[in-house]
Amino acid sequence: MIFHKGSKVWVQDKDLVWVDAEVIGSSSNGIIHLITVSGKTVVSSPEELLARDADEDEHGGVEDMTRLAYLNEPGVLYNLRRRYVLNDIYTYTGSILIAVNPFTNLPHLYNTHMMEQYKGAPLGELSPHVFAVADASYRAMMNEGKSQSILVSGESGAGKTETTKLIMQYLTYVGGRAAGGDDRTVEQQVLESNPLLEAFGNARTVRNDNSSRFGKFVEIQFDSNGRISGAAIRTYLLERSRVVQITDPERNYHCFYQLCASERDAEKYKLAHPSHFHYLNQSKVYELDGVRNSEEYVNTRRAMHVVGISNEDQEAIFRVLAAILHLGNIEFSPGKEHDSSVIKDEKSRFHMQMAANLFMCDVDLLLATLSTRSIQTREGCIIKALDCNAAVAGRDVLAKTVYARLFDWLVDKINRSVGQDINSQMQIGVLDIYGFECFKDNSFEQFCINFANEKLQQHFNEHVFKMEQEEYSKEEINWSYIEFVDNQDVLDLIEKKPIGIIALLDEACMFPRSTHETFSTKLFHHCKSHPRLEKEKFSQTDFTMSHYAGKVTYHTDTFLDKNRDYVVVEHCNLLSLSKCPFVSGLFPLLAEESSRSSYKFSSVASRFKQQLQALMETLKSTEPHYVRCVKPNSLNQPQVFDNASVRHQLRCGGVLEAIRISLAGYPTRRTYSEFVDRYGVIAPEYMDGSYDDKVATEKILQRLKLENFQLGRTKVFLRAGQIGILDSKRAEVLDNAAKCIQRRLRTFVAHRDFISVRAATVSLQACCRGCIARKMYATIQETSAVISIQKYIRMWLMSQAYLKLYSSAIIIQSHVRGFATRQRILHGREHKAATFIQACWRMSEVRSAFKQYQASILAVQCLWRCRQARKELRRLKQEANESGALRLAKSKLEKQLEELTWRLHLEKKIRVSNEEAKQAEISRLKKVIEALNLELDVAKLATINECNKNAVLQNQLKLSVNEKPTLERELFEMEEVRKENALLKGSLDAFEKKYAALELELMNAQKSCNETVEKLREFEQKCSQLERNVKSLEENVLSLEDENHVLRQKAISAPPKSNRPGLAKSFSEKHSSAIASRAERKPLFESPTPTKHTTPFTLAMSDSHRSRLTTERNQDNYEFLSRCIKENLGFKNGKPLAACIIYKSLLHWHAFEFERTTIFDYIIEGINEAVKVRDDGFVLPYWLSNTSALLCLLQRNIRSNGFLTTATQRHAGSPGLTIWTGHGLKSSLKSHGYDDGMSHVEARYPAILFKQQLTACVEKIFGLIRDNLKKELSPLLGLCIQAPKTGRVHGGKLSRSPGGLPQQSPGGQWDNIVNFLDSLMRQLRENHVPSFFIRKLVTQVFSFINITLFNSLLLRRECCTFSNGEYVKSGLAELEKWIVNAKEEYAGTSWHELNYIRQAVGFLVIHQKRRKSLKEIRQDLCPALTVRQIYRISTMYWDDKYGTQSVSNEVVSEMRELVSKDNQNLASNSFLLDDDLSIPFSAEDIDIALPAIDPDDVDLPAFLSEYPCAQFLISNQK
């Protein structure tokens, strides 16, 4: 690529890896001179430089790195860095997610609301997130029915475990737990096993203190409904050789050090410091920084309890670990016989005895299995002695075998604890495995690990290439000739038979006398020509292999020893006979056939290869998803980004390899609109609107003669390097345009200066000539006067003097005028010469840039200048011939006139500015006065309300005092609860005293408004105490319900008591004629359980006749009510007919007078069924109007007629009286706004129960309407949050879409919102829904609009643009017009509900954001937004219209500090808004807000005449 002066490039740096620089020149030998961003000047060759897009520096990085203009290593590195600084830790590379560990809490990214946002969202629609990857895997599993896998990779400390936890947390959220499962989630159960697996499977390596030495595959199982049904943890590739052999400064597995640090167990198992054990002292590192082994031992024990390991098994596990340590200290010396061995010394014998005791086996048998081998032959069993080396090898084999089986037992135990679903057909697996390793000394372990990573990288490459193919196929482009970047040659070198490294290693291990030298020699002999294998220069046995992540040099000294893994049958038989059930369970008895051979040779590399192949088959059977975790620094500190470390991890994680695969195809992809917007300046002739974007793109590329590009359905695909050519051409065009603008500007400035100088010169000349003329005129006048006075006296003398003086003056004037004329001519010549020189110079400059316009421009300029010069010359000659005296006088007068005019204008301007300042001050003071008047009115209104509330409270006090004697009489009649009555009396006395004190306080409150507020607060506290007292009373009464039931049974057969004074009033004067027959109708709605007094009239009637009459009347009533509910009866003068008819029927049937009745339940069930039948937009509003009206009628009748109190008092023995009394007080307080959480009365009174059911029904219908509106509104809002792409307008032509149809106007989507709101308002008003409900509905709809738009704005970077802000702002203006037209009666405070989105959009569209301080933003621009929300918008904002920048870096840093502090406050850490699903009103609010309804003045439907039970309605109407 060719770099020009001013090109933006990346140059390598020793410390920062890559730095951005600018080309300042180049030398003749091709060396390029650059200046870095730090001001340092460097030189480099073109091959070492990489292109950089300067436009990307203005943004906070791109969310998908495939959208980078230059997809290269420094571009990826610095894009991650820019996003990391802004706490955007997730970034896509296609479908791959890169997660950078922030080393700080970011709880706002992981709450439930965030999971809800990503639920069902397509990958890439919202900001990058691990939830998006988890959701994509879950949706793919449910849609395709195919198992998925998520491969989480990265070095230790990069956040793999936390990422795995978040993935499982999200899968638990979207999938849920199948019925009958444990209370703990799968995520919790799997994570609770992590400390145990880390203790037995993690160890310290050269780079990490807690490196995982095995692979973990967490398989989450789902049932057919997508609910989690189980889980399993599968482990792979445990590094067994680490048990017996480690290198300095690494460590063995953590569990050994933890056991040695345990005081009680270490003493019990005769353990000491790790330095005393051979398996641990091969490295001098025994402790880890910041980790205490004793505490970790306690944590491991706790984890064992969590997963369900019993205490006996725990003891057995640590006994086995101690045995392994003692086993490693057993040393052998040569025996008496040839090739035999014996225990070396007493110390070894002690460790032998301890190992046998811990294994619970015979010590002699243990010694025999270690020092001898039995060979089974046809003649019998032959015992062969082993030399010292073979005995040590057998000892190590036993240790490795025991540890491996112990680890497998732990994994199996964890799986049983978690619970597996063997019938599951769909799984999502999460793989957490060690990453690529490259140390200073690399041995057999690194070879195996890197082999596994090569396999995974091949799988990764295939997936990436498959994604590339899917993208190309989706865009319908030809990709058949694209080469697949593969690492199969490395895998063949490692595993291919018969000359692969593993095959050669196994062959060498089969021969006892083979050494690492013979293995290396054979390897170099067979593979010396392989391009991936190199021989180390300074070693005869080491070799270097070129992996995908770089070259690694392996030392083969221990390859053979670590690859040999003998399974000795004697070892298995010995431990299977152990007296410890746990140890014997690890080694089940072998079959007879398998026990014939003493040695079972097993290659570690071959077994590793088989396990790896099984893992690859598991992964290939699933659809993979990749998460690459990156550790930004080794200090584990936030906001520290180490470029070198991150680059190494990107290489090891295969991210740069994926980029290399992309570069092999079409690394640069742009949508046609983006391409034309950026590169349309190259060919402006195609931008006149006559071409669509695709054709214009093709024309531009053809004009530049680019080849091998592909045009897809929606994107253009460019080969590597082509984007650089386009940017170079674009930069050239923009540079030429800038030069042209500069040239024209300089011409304008020079012309303007010339005009100014010329005007000044003319003015100066006029002044000089005027002065000279005035002097000459004075001299002539004086001379004339002297001559006139003295002409007769000094005629002759003065005549002579005059003549002499006159001639002298003429001579002087002629010389002066001649000199002035010569000067003017000389100046004219100089000016003409300068003009000619300038013309020549400009002509020379223009010729180099515009050769095609040279002749015409020069001709025009020359003609114009000649014409001006001739005009100037003629004017000068004409002026020279005019009379000097007149010119001087005229110039003097003109100057005076100009001075006077200037002074007049100046005075006018000063006067106008003073008047404007006064007017502004007056208007400001008027606004202040208006605001103060409004505040005064509000204060007055509050005072009046407080006075009204005081009066209401006084009435309530009187009512409470009147009800107190009734309560006392009722309590005295309960003989069996005397002790409880004493407590109740005390409560009532306290209640009376508190009310008396409250009356005194209310009298004093009328004097001062401030005192009234304080006393009302005290009253609320005392009401709370009263509520607790009444609740206590209710609980005491309910505890004696059984005893009261006996009293009620006795009262059934007893005659009714004499009516008390004042309690025998009729229910209503309107129904006075029905009193005599009331007893006959009473059983119609009574519960089968007798709980009330019955009247004697029932004795005259047989039981069968009464039952039949009751059934017939109930059936008739139910049919009538069912028809009223099912049919749409409409409205009369805004009153719902159904509600009025139902209410009048219940009133006429005296349904409210009985303790229990099923008719109310029938009505409620009928309404619920009617609502469920259909929803055409009119059913729900219709029933909202009817149910609210029925509820209002019921509430107001209770307060006005008091029939429920009468019906209750009529039965003195009923214990429910106390409940009604308490409820009467509660409802009174509620109706006036003093309810502080009192619950409704029990459902034993029909009116109260029916009111509760109606209230719930109203709330349910309101909620259904609201939820339906949100469902219909959500897709419309999804189209409104982002401005649609509009056609480009050039030359007055409208661009058309490829189909030839004009594109939809940007305001069309907002028109749909307005039409939706109009339809909603029309439906509600047609069904006469009260304005109270309409206002609440519209308010909640606008609140939902605010929440949806605001959350989408914060989650989608493409929405945080200047043009999108203008688009949304115009839409909000349409909503404001709708609110104004709807008026406050229906719209209420809807406009204030849009505060968040209005302020956010206002912030997007303001100019000069960099000049705004944080205080100005928080107080003036976005007072409702939190700092976290402002920070999110500021970091995501980019100006796609004018190219301006967001807020300053100082403001961003200040906000970042505040956000970091707020992270500790879990209640305020989310930047998203939560949707309020509560019902915004209560039954009392409905009662207060709804107008009074008269149920009499209605038109009855015709079908009433068909029902006998409804005849009273027709007769009353007549």
Give catalytic residue positions: 156-157, 161, 208, 211-212, 435, 437
159 belongs to an annotated ligand binding site = yes
Residue 1086 is encoded by which pair of tokens? 């009574």
**Is 499 exposed, middle or buried (CB count within 10 Å of its CB: 0-12, 13-18, 19+)?**
middle
Are the C-beta atoms of residues 51 and 724 closer than 8 Å to each other? Answer: yes
Are the C-beta atoms of residues 1187 and 1261 closer than 8 Å to each other? Answer: yes
Tell me the HSE value of 955 on the side-chain side, using a 13 A CA sphere. 10
Strand stretches in 1216-1255, DSSP E: none
Residue 884 amino acid letter? G
**Is 752 exposed, middle or buried (CB count within 10 Å of its CB: 0-12, 13-18, 19+)?**
exposed
**Is 215 exposed, middle or buried (CB count within 10 Å of its CB: 0-12, 13-18, 19+)?**
buried
d(CA 1308, CA 1484): 42
Residue keyed to tokens 């004042």:
1062
429 belongs to an annotated ligand binding site = no
851 belongs to an annotated ligand binding site = no
Residue 1425 is encoded by which pair of tokens? 């937004």
Contacts of 617 (CB under 8 A, 6+ apart): none
Cis amide leading into 1423 (omega within 30): no
160 belongs to an annotated ligand binding site = yes
Longest CA pairwise span in the chain (Å) = 182
Q: For helices 311-328 and 293-306, what crossing angle results, to 10°?
A: 140
Q: Length of the chain in residues, anyone?
A: 1518
155 belongs to an annotated ligand binding site = yes
Residue 198 is encoded by which pair of tokens? 């880390």
Cα 1320 to Cα 1266, 1280, 1338, distances in angstroms: 11, 19, 9
Residue 1174 is encoded by which pair of tokens? 């259909």
Are the C-beta atoms of residues 1191 and 1260 closer than 8 Å to each other? Answer: no
154 belongs to an annotated ligand binding site = yes
Are the C-beta atoms of residues 138 and 175 closer than 8 Å to each other? Answer: yes
d(CA 602, CA 717): 52
Q: 148-153 and 623-630: which strand pairing?
A: parallel
Dihedral (Cα; 906, 912, 918, 921), 10-degree rounding = -100
**1426-1436 CB burial, b ≥16 within 10 A, e <16:** bbbbbbbbbbb
Residue keyed to tokens 């059911």:
1253
Residue 1500 is encoded by which pair of tokens? 């009855």
Dihedral (Cα; 34, 38, 39, 44), 10-degree rounding = -20
Residue whose C-alpha is closest to residue 662's, from 154, 90, 65, 136: 65
Q: What is the 3-state secondary structure (H, E, C) of 663-688?
A: HHCCCEEEEHHHHHHHHHHHCHHHCC
Are the C-beta atoms of residues 964 and 971 closer than 8 Å to each other? Answer: no
Tell me the HSE value of 682 on the side-chain side, using a 13 A CA sphere. 23
Q: For helices 1362-1387 and 1395-1405, what crossing angle results, to 10°?
A: 150
Residue 628 is encoded by which pair of tokens? 């690459």
**Three-state DSSP class for residue 774:** helix
Contacts of 74 (CB under 8 A, 6+ apart): 10, 17, 18, 20, 50, 52
Residue whose C-alpha is closest to residue 447's, from 514, 525, 516, 518: 516
**Torsion-angle region of 204 (φ positive above 0: left; ψ -120 to 50: alpha; else: beta):** beta
Are the C-beta atoms of residues 536 and 544 closer than 8 Å to each other? Answer: yes
Tell me the binding residues: 154-161
Tell me the binding residues for ATP: 154-161
